């Protein structure tokens, strides 16, 4: 900015593309403006290391930017203050934002920040339930409890995530695609199935659409070798993990920074019991399904934590560690078409 006017702007569109700072400088020059002496506002401190793109600090110094206002720090080991230090050494005035702007910037970059600090993906749990607490419909009915607007939001969230996860129970019941089905989708997330006994059917829609995105199957050490061989021959990728922590660590090593957890009840209970959920997004639909409607036997909270742990250990997902009760750091309620959406954040990175 110069004299209160925006002379260039940019963002990091996708992995491997220009970083936000270089994109903003390119936009500035495309407008016929000279960035020298201007103030640059960034959500994350400029990088000072060579990756898929050259260091942004070099571009800022070469452009003659006079002042840089940074909304949040970069907690990764290879960054962590190097960029601001180099800018100050180059006689650029560096300031860090505070208050609401800093908080908003940190929340915007939660997947990156968690992965940088822990090596694990940010886990967002999506739930949908009826007014009487049911999370699944009767056999033969549409698996969707929520309405059209909520379904549109789910596809947008899928598009924003590196990976989508479900339990084998959901796959056996619904045979889902787990793809983003919107015209503007530029990529498909990796699809992850927690399937301790390697029961994923070879004719499932997931394995029939590997040309759209990979499928990772998380299995236990005791999974049937013949089933594992068949899944590998079908081009599924196998992750062997006997705990949720081990599974998430493997996903993190693969570069997955955000995991969108869609179903079902057993897998959700395992993640909740292991305190592995960072944020939840719960749709409440204005319908009554009745106790007999649910194929899975009720809502996520329909079993005790001990039962959820035992089911997770012997069924579709790695064993949970035990019950955890956690209050949200923040939450908000909004309308999503006919449904009510409650978004709760439990951790901040």
CATH of the domain at 64: 3.40.140.10
pLDDT score, position 302:
39
Are both 69 and 147 inside the same structural domain?
no
How many Cα atoms occupy the beta-carbon half-sphere of 25 within 13 Å?
Answer: 19
Beta strand pairing status for 339-345 and 279-284? antiparallel
Which tens digits make up the pLDDT trace of 111-131?
A: 999 999 999 999 999 999 999
Of the residues 81, 108, 135, the one at which a domain ends: 108
Are both 232 and 268 inside the same structural domain?
yes
| C-beta separation of 179 from 210 below 8 A | no
Dihedral-angle region of residue 70 (phi above 0 means left; psi in -120 to 50 means alpha; beta otherwise): beta
Are both 234 and 268 inside the same structural domain?
yes
Task: Provide CB contacts within 8 A for 99, sequence distance 6+.
Answer: none
DSSP secondary structure of 215-226: EEEEE-TTS-HH
Using the structure block, give the residue that is written with the tokens 């699944």. Answer: 136
Which tens digits make up the pLDDT trace of 241-258?
A: 989 999 999 999 999 999
| C-beta separation of 47 from 112 below 8 A | no
Of the residues 108, 130, 165, the one at which a domain ends: 108
Domain CATH for 225: 3.40.430.10
Are both 160 and 208 inside the same structural domain?
yes
Q: How many whole angstroms from its chain centre is CA 17?
A: 20
Are both 211 and 320 inside the same structural domain?
yes
Residue 2 lies in a domain: no
Are both 163 and 220 inside the same structural domain?
yes
Are both 98 and 141 inside the same structural domain?
no
Per-residue pLDDT of the chain (349 residues; tens, 9 = 90+): 999 999 999 998 887 889 999 999 999 999 999 999 999 999 999 999 887 889 999 999 999 999 999 999 999 888 778 999 999 999 999 999 999 999 999 999 999 999 999 999 999 999 999 999 888 877 767 777 899 999 999 999 999 999 999 999 999 999 999 999 887 778 899 999 999 999 999 999 999 999 999 999 999 999 999 999 999 999 999 999 989 999 999 999 999 999 999 977 889 999 999 999 999 999 999 999 886 554 544 445 433 333 333 334 444 445 545 556 778 999 999 999 999 999 999 999 9
Is 247 strand, coil or helix? Answer: helix
| C-beta separation of 207 from 234 below 8 A | yes
Q: How far separated are the first and last CA of the chain, in Å rounded?
A: 29
- Total number of domains constituting the chain: 2
Are both 300 and 174 inside the same structural domain?
yes
pLDDT score, position 14:
80
Are both 87 and 205 inside the same structural domain?
no
| Complete edge-to-edge strand list for the sheet that includes strand 93-96 | 39-42, 67-70, 93-96
Cα–Cα dist 341/286, whole Å: 12
Domain of residue 101, residue span: 20-108
| Complete edge-to-edge strand list for the sheet that includes strand 190-194 | 237-240, 215-219, 190-194, 163-167, 258-263, 122-129, 279-284, 339-345, 330-336
Cα–Cα dist 42/9, whole Å: 10
Are both 317 and 274 inside the same structural domain?
yes
Query: What CA–CA distances, in Å, run from 218 to 152, 221, 231?
Result: 28, 10, 11
Task: Provide CB contacts within 8 A for 128, sequence distance 6+.
Answer: 135, 144, 145, 146, 150, 282, 283, 284, 285, 339
Among 9, 21, 77, 95, the active-site one is 21
Q: Reduced to 3 DSSP states, what percent helix, strand and coil does the chain have, rounded to the nearest 5?
A: 30, 20, 50
Active site residue 348: no
Residue 6 lies in a domain: no
Are both 140 and 77 inside the same structural domain?
no
Query: What CA–CA distances, in Å, run from 177 to 147, 152, 166, 181, 239?
Result: 19, 15, 11, 10, 20
Query: What CA–CA distances, in Å, run from 273 to 81, 283, 290, 309?
Result: 36, 21, 26, 7
- Taking residue 131's Cβ as centre, other Cβ atoms within 10 Å add up to 12
Are both 65 and 143 inside the same structural domain?
no
Residue 85 lies in a domain: yes
Query: What CA–CA distances, in Å, run from 257 to 123, 128, 189, 295?
Result: 9, 24, 11, 32
How many Cα atoms occupy the beta-carbon half-sphere of 158 within 13 Å?
Answer: 26
Q: Helix 265-273 vs helix 305-314: angle between axes, to the nearest 10 degrees?
A: 110
């Amino acid at each position: 900015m110069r004299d209160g006017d925006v002379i260039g702007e940019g963002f990091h569109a996708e992995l491997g593309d220009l970083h936000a700072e270089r994109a903003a400088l390119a936009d500035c020059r495309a407008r016929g403006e000279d960035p020298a002496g201007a103030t640059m506002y960034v959500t994350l401190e400029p990088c000072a290391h060579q990756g898929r793109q050259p260091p942004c600090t070099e571009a800022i110094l070469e452009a003659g930017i006079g002042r840089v206002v940074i909304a949040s720090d970069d907690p990764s080991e290879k960054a962590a203050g190097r960029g601001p230090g180099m800018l100050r050494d180059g006689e650029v005035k560096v300031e860090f934002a505070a208050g609401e702007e800093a908080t908003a910037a940190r929340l915007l970059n939660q997947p990156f920040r968690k992965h940088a600090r822990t090596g694990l993906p940010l886990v967002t749990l999506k739930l949908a339930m009826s007014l009487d607490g049911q999370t699944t419909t009767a056999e033969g009915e549409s698996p969707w409890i929520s309405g059209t607007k909520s379904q549109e939001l789910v596809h947008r969230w899928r598009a924003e995530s590196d990976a989508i996860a479900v339990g084998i129970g959901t796959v056996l019941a619904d045979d889902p695609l787990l793809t983003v089905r919107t015209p503007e989708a530029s990529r498909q997330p990796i699809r992850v199935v927690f399937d301790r006994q390697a029961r994923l059917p070879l004719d499932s829609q997931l394995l029939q659409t590997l040309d759209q995105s990979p499928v990772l199957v998380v299995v236990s050490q005791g999974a049937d070798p013949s089933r594992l061989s068949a899944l590998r021959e079908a081009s599924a990728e196998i992750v062997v993990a006997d705990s949720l922590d081990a599974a998430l660590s493997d996903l993190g090593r693969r570069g997955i920074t955000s995991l969108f957890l869609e179903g079902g009840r057993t897998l959700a209970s395992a993640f909740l019991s292991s305190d592995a959920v960072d944020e939840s997004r719960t749709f409440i639909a204005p319908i009554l399904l009745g106790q007999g409607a649910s194929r899975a036997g009720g809502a996520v909270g329909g079993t005790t934590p001990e039962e959820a742990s035992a089911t997770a250990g012997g069924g579709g997902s790695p064993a949970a560690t035990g019950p955890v009760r956690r209050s949200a750091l923040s939450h908000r309620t909004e309308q999503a078409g006919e449904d009510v959406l409650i978004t709760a954040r439990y951790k901040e990175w």
